[in-house]
Structure 1
Amino acid sequence: MVVRMRVNRSKTGKRRSHHALVAGRLITCECGAKRQNHRACPSCGKYNGRVTVDVVARAQRDAARAKRREKAMRESGQVSALDKVADTDKEKSTT
């Protein structure tokens, strides 16, 4: 590298001084779970003292979606990850 192109350590350090990552702050929700600032609680769905997310309905919707996806995979002939785990457990128990 040519000397005029070289960047010394102090210049590199000054440039990189703003590259630091800061850990996100966590606060304790009314329900006792940890959550990020300015976000709804993932366990109870409250934000600023009000329920903003229906956690039970979301869990039911996610379960139904997973069930539909599992059914579609079985109908198409693909083996799901659960079947693979069950097969390996059976092999371990027989040996």
Structure 2
Amino acid sequence: MAVPKRKTSTARRDKRRTHWKMEVPAMATCDHCGSVKRPHRVCPVCGFYNGVEVVDMKGAEA
């Protein structure tokens, strides 16, 4: 069974982990209303996706 000969130092361990970072999700603008939204998703403001009204936002408010 393979076992490390020496303990990995915290500096060496943290250097290896520097490339793993949280990133801000990509954002796009809605073609219909111009608001900021996640790409490939229905716009939460107007309910349009790819130029087609998918969700009726006027009826969803009530």
TM-score (norm 2): 0.72
1:50-65 pair list within 5 angstroms: 50-60=52-62
Where is the helix percentage greater, Structure 1 or Structure 2?
A: 1
**Which residue number corresponds to residue 3 of structure 2?**
none
Q: Could you list the runs of 5+ residues in structure 2 that have no partner in the other structure? A: 1-5
Deviation above 6 Å: which 4+ runs of structure 1?
none
- C-alpha displacement at 1:18, in angstroms? 5.0
- C-alpha displacement at 1:52, in angstroms? 0.8
Q: Which structure has the greater CA radius of gyration?
A: 1
Higher relative contact order (CA 8 A, sep 6+): 2
- Alignment RMSD, CA only? 1.6
**Which residue number corresponds to residue 37 of structure 2?**
35
Identity of aligned residues (%): 33
TM-score (norm 1): 0.50
Q: What residue identity is the alignment partner of 2:39? A: N
**Which residue number corresponds to residue 47 of structure 1?**
49
Give the total of aligned pairs: 55
